Structures are given as C-alpha cells and as structure tokens.
C-alpha cells in the first residue's frame, strides 16, 4: 500500500472515530449527563459502537458469503437450490 493511500485511510479512520465520539457525546448530553461523567459516558458509548462494528462487519461478510454459496453452484452441471 502506498504512503498516500495509508494517509487517506488513517484520515478516514480518525474521521469515523471522531464522528462516533461526537454522536455519543450528544446522546449523553441530551440524556442529562453533565460534568466529567459526560466524557466517561462518551468514551463508553464510542468504545461500544466500535466493538459492535468490529463484530458486525466480518459477520456481515460471512453471512453474505454463506447466502451466495447456498444459492449458487460452482459446478456447471448443477443447478442452484431453488424453492418451489
């Protein structure tokens, strides 16, 4: 991967993390959390969202691969599964 591509990827990662943190901060503030607890809740929400995304993205890839494999055939002489 080239240096320019790495810089773009790092920038996108930072923007995503900042956007998640700001949304978490807004949710906590709207929920009535004030003071130093606001930062703690913000980091808690941000970490939770990042962990969920880290689990959902690979799970989505595996699920879509499973669906594609179940309804298509790699061999020419076979027909894919059909529901009738």
* DSSP single-letter state for residue 33: -
For residue 24, pLDDT over 70 is answered with: yes
**Residue-wise burial string across 59-72, b where 16 or more C-beta atoms lie within 10 A, e elsewhere:** eeeeeeeeeeeeee
What was the pLDDT predicted at 11?
A: 92
* DSSP single-letter state for residue 25: H
Which of the two residues, 6 and 31, has the higher pLDDT score? 6
pTM over cut 0.85: no
Residue range 36-45: mean pLDDT, rounded: 80
Helix (H, G, I), strand (E, B) or coil at 47: helix
What was the pLDDT predicted at 83?
A: 58
In angstroms, the first-to-last Cα distance of the chain is 48
Which of the two residues, 12 and 77, has the higher pLDDT score? 12
What was the pLDDT predicted at 78?
A: 60
């Amino acid at each position: 991967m080239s240096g320019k591509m790495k810089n773009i990827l790092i920038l996108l990662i930072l923007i995503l993390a900042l956007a998640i943190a700001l949304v978490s901060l807004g949710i906590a503030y709207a929920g009535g959390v004030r003071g130093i607890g606001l930062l703690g809740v913000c980091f808690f929400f941000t970490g939770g969202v990042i962990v969920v995304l880290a689990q959902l993205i690979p799970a989505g890839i595996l699920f879509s691969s499973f669906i594609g494999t179940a309804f298509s055939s790699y061999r020419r002489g076979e027909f894919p599964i059909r529901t009738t």
